[in-house]
Amino acid sequence: MPWVPRVARFMESSDMPVSSIIIRSLTKQYANLTALNSFDLEVEQGSIFGLLGPNGAGKTTLIRILTTLMRQSSGEVFIEGLDTRTNGLKIRSMIGVVSQENSLDRYLTARENLVLHARLHGMEKSLYNRRIDELLELMGLSDRQKDFPDTYSGGMQRRLVVARALVHKPQLLFLDEPTTGLDPQSRRAVWEYIRSLSGSMTIFLTTHYLEEAEQLCDRVAIMDHGRLIALGSSQELKDRLSGETVYDIELERDVEHYSSLLGSMPCVSNIRRIDNKIQVSLEHWECLSEIVTALNGAPIRRITLKERTLEDVFISLTGSGVRG
């Protein structure tokens, strides 16, 4: 019996989640380089999904295959139940893409760029004009809509690229590092809009801002060397991170003295001094009582547990070295 895409099987039962993206044993080979190595993944419909990985992990290759810009060497990919190898035109009509490059037409105004995109997707003028007005307002570009992209700052161009991808209200939105170059206010505005789309649109996000993935994504995948190495919610990934417990100890004075004192204790595996704060790594959280005893009489302002972050998980899985 031939393999049936799981999305089709899920459609038969309304109480089962539907997969918007299904990837099975996906491999992409470039001569002697394996960019994707038997990669498996499913993304639930209506979710915000984050993909993380260091430079060279295979993220861009994966995005290009998912958006039908590249063919795999082997394996299968289904977008909304459609095989990317045989349904490229249909899939492209269903998706929106924000690539890493600001691929805007420099000879068209901002509004004309959006109009062109809407017409390429067969939208009626009465519909796309209203939609474009909404997006220009959201991205803070209404006052500059008649200007050419070359007159925009990098951040403004980025906002226009995001708006363009949303004009035709895609079922599946691919965001490849969408907030690179944005100021904090613009980034927050994009975040809020992405959150508002949750449930009505599947969003596939790649980012180097780990806080962005932690804030926005229902599930996060971490890949390296073309393979999936971790998958789950941000909290699930952080819960799996074993190892030391880290505390920040903030003092009013005598930081050097107490730093030396704590550094000599057997239960302290690592210690860092940051201004008037001492950061200690303990082999077990029970060691905290020994630390408190040693600090008896010290001018302590506060002792706080350092919460694990998605960055801690990422570094623990992919290493701290800079990639080429």
Domain with 262 in it: what CATH number? 3.30.70.920
Residue 323 is assigned to a structural domain of this protein:
no
Give percent of the chain above pLDDT 70. Answer: 92
Q: What is the pLDDT confidence band of residue 28, given thresholds at 50, 70 and 90?
A: very high
Residues 266 and 203 in one domain: no
Closest to 232 measured CA to CA, from 244, 241, 245: 241
Residue 316 is assigned to a structural domain of this protein:
no
Mean pLDDT of 214-233: 94
257: part of which helix (H) or strand (E)?
A: helix 255-263
Domain boundary among 239, 261, 296: 239
Residues 220 and 257 in one domain: no
Residue 109 is assigned to a structural domain of this protein:
yes
Write down the pLDDT at residue 9. 42
* Res 2 pLDDT > 50: no
* Res 320 pLDDT > 80: no
pLDDT digits (tens, 9 = 90+) for 65-84: 999 999 999 999 999 999 99
Residue 73 is assigned to a structural domain of this protein:
yes
Closest to 172 measured CA to CA, from 196, 205, 201, 193: 201
Write down the pLDDT at residue 252. 86
Check which CATH number belongs to the domain holding 173 and give it.
3.40.50.300
Burial 191-213 (b: 16+ CB within 10 A, else e): beebeebeeebbbbbbbebbebb
Q: State the average pLDDT for the chain.
A: 87
What is d(CA 136, CA 144) in angstroms, rounded to the nearest whole number?
9
What is d(CA 232, CA 221) in angstroms, rounded to the nearest whole number?
7
Residues 122 and 209 in one domain: yes
* Res 4 pLDDT > 50: no
Residue 324 is assigned to a structural domain of this protein:
no
Residues 284 and 172 in one domain: no
Domain boundary among 213, 239, 265: 239
Give percent of the chain above pLDDT 90. Answer: 50
Mean pLDDT of 214-239: 92
Mean pLDDT of 213-225: 94
- The β-bridge partners of 231 are 221
* Res 1 pLDDT > 60: no
pLDDT digits (tens, 9 = 90+) for 251-299: 888 888 888 888 888 888 888 888 888 888 887 777 888 888 888 888 8
Residue 322 is assigned to a structural domain of this protein:
no
**Lowest-pLDDT range of 5-19, 89-103, 206-220, 233-247:** 5-19
Which single residue is written with the structure tokens 């990919």?
77
Residue ranges making up the domain that contains 290: 245-307
Write down the pLDDT at residue 70. 95
* Res 8 pLDDT > 50: no
* Res 308 pLDDT > 90: no
